[in-house]
Amino acid sequence: MDVRLLGEVEVRSAGRPLDIGTPRQQVVLAALAVDVRQPVPIETLVDRVWGHRPPARPRPVLYAHLSRIRALLRQTAAPGGEAAARIERRHAGYVLDVEPERVDLHRFRRLVERAAEDRQHDDEAGAATLAEALRLWRGEPLAGLSGEWAARVRASWHQRRLDAAVRWAQAEFRLGRPGAVIASVPDLTAEYPLAEPLEHVLIQALHAAGRGAEALDRYGAVRRRLAEELGTTPGRELQALYRALLAGAHPRPGTCCATTANT
């Protein structure tokens, strides 16, 4: 059984998707899954599901959604094998009791943390682990769900994905594989057009691959985009890279900017 939040909300059992109901019911499930195995107070659930506009009597409506989700989760039991996921009522709130590894969002987080540990010993292993994490991304987190809470979750996980992508690209560049960066990063920059760290490592990779003119053109495009969208200029590190390329220097692998970026 797997719960997927990095894209449309899905519950899959034995390789097949289950009918998880209305968007509102999906929000209830997601509100528990982001804190899997941790109690979520009912007041928090109400806020996540309805925000500042709850129904007149939200608790009975919430209880009905929880009852339907419980029925759904009973379908995830494997004959003679894996126990069904379940929702438990505890003193501190409701708990989705399922292995965190079964929720893609938590699996992503664990892989990114493991990649940081791997890098201390083996850049190759770190890059592979980050690539595994990035493959979990199926699209907009909680796609199709409305509300302030869902929007905050989306923004937070977009930043986590961007940070992981930058770290992966930096590792590939350090490993002497600019082609991998050039093949993958342009698609990401289309999604995050104001992310200077992605552009920084892509420009490095283009130059390392013998495509110096494209690298300089790329910097010019980034400069124009930042001016048009934000009324600003590239950051100091990107400007320093541009000056180095103009001077004929060869940026060393690992010379890149921080991962925090405008998105």
Is residue 189 one of the residues assigned to a domain? yes
Is residue 231 one of the residues assigned to a domain? yes
pLDDT in tens, 178-189: 999 999 999 999
pLDDT band at 258 (very low <50, low <70, confident <90, very high): very low
CATH of the domain at 181: 1.25.40.10
Domain end residue (candidates: 102, 118, 137)? 102
pLDDT at 262: 53
pTM metric for this prediction: 0.89
Same domain? 180 vs 263: yes
pLDDT at 251: 65
Domain that holds residue 29: 2-102
Quick check: 62 and 45 in contact, CB under 8 A?
A: yes
CATH of the domain at 26: 1.10.10.10
Is residue 78 one of the residues assigned to a domain? yes
Is residue 92 one of the residues assigned to a domain? yes
pLDDT greater than 80 at residue 111: yes
Domain end residue (candidates: 79, 102, 125)? 102
Is residue 210 one of the residues assigned to a domain? yes
Is residue 23 one of the residues assigned to a domain? yes
Arithmetic mean of pLDDT, 93-107: 95
Arithmetic mean of pLDDT, 123-139: 95
Domain count, the chain: 2
User: Of the given ranges (41-50, 88-97, 243-252), which has the lowest mean pLDDT?
Assistant: 243-252
Is residue 186 one of the residues assigned to a domain? yes
Domain end residue (candidates: 102, 125, 151)? 102
